[in-house]
Structure 1
Amino acid sequence: MSAEVRRANSATALQHFEAGLNVLNQLCIGFVTIWICWNCLRTGLVGIRLHVWLASFGFVFLMAEGMMCFYDGNWLTLRYTRKTKTAIHVVLQILGGGMGVAGCLVQLIRDDWNFGPTIHSRLGFAAFLLSLISLLSGIVAVLARSLSRIVSPLANKTFHVLLSLATFVIAMLAQFYGYTQTGIFKGQGSDFVILMQVVTLVAMVLTCIAPLKSLYQKCVSFAS
């Protein structure tokens, strides 16, 4: 077997593996999103449930899907052009970040702008601030060509990917601690809460593959 054939087979195997990971990730994201939507909507979006629904739907679903738009292993967007992927990415990130920020604002207003002593509340506040900065950097990234005389498009997009990745990871960690540190999840059983935490962490790790690959490619571009 020639070296070219071996490389082609390895590339195909890697593509199938990444596609399998993407299916697993979509299942994890769907599981968390559907359960939270059902649990919050069936009892009404009042009090903390509005915060939970906005933040979870925004960060766990919309932001995660937006981050994976350019991922080669994502069969949902694989057939689209780069321009279409960019449009989908922008819309999902704006909606996801906007809902996440709104969810944090709702809770901050309820708590008289005191983000509390828990790990969940501190991580949530950090995600709130980073989301605002990330949304701004995303706008700059979209306008990268017109601002090329001021900021290098490659540097700007690299910063945006890195910032978005940090925002997503912190938001997902806040989600992780929220299962045990918010009253809405009481009565679900400890085993189910652990399941939700594990599924959330799996979704976080698998979603991060796409931006990490993008960062690697941009670092290679910087080096060359």
Structure 2
Amino acid sequence: MKIQMEIESNEVENRPTRNAWQVVQTCFNVLNHIMACIVAIYMSVMCTNAGNKAVTWHVWLCTIGYQLLMTQAILVFYSENVWSKQCTRQSKKTIHWVLQAVGSSVAILGIFIEYIGRELIERETKKPKPHFSSTHSVIGLIAAIFTMIGMFNGISALWSIKLKKYARPVYFKLAHNLTGTTAFILGMIALFIGYDKGYMKKNSSDEIRLGLQILAIITVILSLIGAWRTAINHIRNVMN
């Protein structure tokens, strides 16, 4: 009994102490996950009630792709991320590229469906439905381009050690970090604008749309803390 108590006492003593800032980061991280889930659940219910239309799939897929899956992909490497902090580095890499690949594919599919949907409406109504004619659609298109670039250089970042004869691994990692965060920010800006578009006005209240926009801003800030910190470290390594 005495030996067991001594072992438990040693385990408590050996646990790493957490400072106040780490606790605050963990609280905000939990809040971020809760917000992402709230948005995903609300948009899923709203889109289900709105009916099976191209624009509905566009709204739902892009929201799930950027605000849920890509958010989780970015947070995997965050030191205070509650569900991945105990994972090994290799496990984090695997989880990251799976979430990033699925999230990117889902978001791009959502954009593609909207494009095809507008084409079909134009053929049926004989009325022109111009593509990428609004701020929302232009930013969404640029976000999709950066998302595809991020997927491509994500592969080079994953194999950066094997590609070191061509360039230092930090270059591949920095490129992926910058293009990935740019894609995420642009995607979230497109969502922010989209939350005030006609489809959302028709299917949700003013208060909810404002709440979704506020959550989008907070999600970007809280999700990119770790990514920006990593980017700064990569830049320092490049300069050394």
TM over 0.5: yes
Which residue in the other structure is 1:85 paired with?
92
Give the partner amino acid of 2:171. A
Alpha-carbon separation, structure 2, partners of 1:45 and 1:156 = 41
Q: How many residues align?
A: 216
**Which segment drifts farther, 37-46 or 111-120?**
111-120
Give the partner amino acid of 1:180. D
1:131-150 correspondence to structure 2 within 5 Å: 131-150=147-166
Percentage identity across paired residues of the two chains: 25
Contact 1:49 1:184 survives alignment (8 Å): no
Alpha-carbon separation, structure 1, partners of 2:21 and 2:190 = 32
Confirm or deny that 1:167 pairs with 2:183. yes
CA positional deviation for 1:16? 0.5
Moved over 4 A (4+): none
1:175-186 correspondence to structure 2 within 5 Å: 175-186=191-202
Confirm or deny that 1:127 pairs with 2:143. yes
Contact 1:179 1:193 survives alignment (8 Å): yes
Alpha-carbon separation, structure 2, partners of 1:26 and 1:13 = 20
Alpha-carbon separation, structure 1, partners of 2:169 and 2:99 = 21
Which secondary structure does the structure 1 equivalent of 2:19 belong to? Answer: helix
Which residue in the other structure is 2:219 paired with?
203
Alignment counterpart, residue 41 of structure 1, candidates 42, 48, 53: 48
Alpha-carbon separation, structure 2, partners of 1:100 and 1:78 = 27
Contact 2:50 2:203 survives alignment (8 Å): no
Query: Any stretches of 5+ residues in structure 2 without a counterpart?
Result: 1-15, 120-128
Alpha-carbon separation, structure 1, partners of 2:106 and 2:198 = 19
1:3-22 correspondence to structure 2 within 5 Å: 12-22=19-29
Q: CA RMSD in A?
A: 1.8
CA positional deviation for 1:19? 0.4
Alpha-carbon separation, structure 1, partners of 2:36 and 2:141 = 22
Give the partner amino acid of 1:63. M
Q: 1:187 to 1:43 in 2, by over 3 A?
A: closer
Contact 1:59 1:168 survives alignment (8 Å): yes
Confirm or deny that 1:155 pairs with 2:168. no
CA positional deviation for 1:24? 1.4
Which secondary structure does the structure 2 equivalent of 1:180 belong to? Answer: coil
CA positional deviation for 1:187? 4.6
Which residue in the other structure is 1:103 paired with?
110
1:106-164, CA deviations, whole angstroms, 9 ceiling, x for partnerless residues? 11222349433222111111111111111111111112122111132101100100100
Contact 1:108 1:114 survives alignment (8 Å): no
Which secondary structure does the structure 1 equivalent of 2:196 belong to? Answer: helix
Contact 1:48 1:184 survives alignment (8 Å): no
**Larger-Rg structure:** 2
Give the partner amino acid of 1:93. Q
Which residue in the other structure is 1:118 paired with?
134
**Which segment drifts farther, 79-88 or 190-199?**
190-199
Which residue in the other structure is 1:62 paired with?
69
Which residue in the other structure is 1:71 paired with?
78
Alpha-carbon separation, structure 2, partners of 1:153 and 1:176 = 34
Query: Any stretches of 5+ residues in structure 1 without a counterpart?
Result: 1-7
Which secondary structure does the structure 2 equivalent of 1:199 belong to? Answer: helix
Which secondary structure does the structure 1 equivalent of 2:195 belong to? Answer: helix
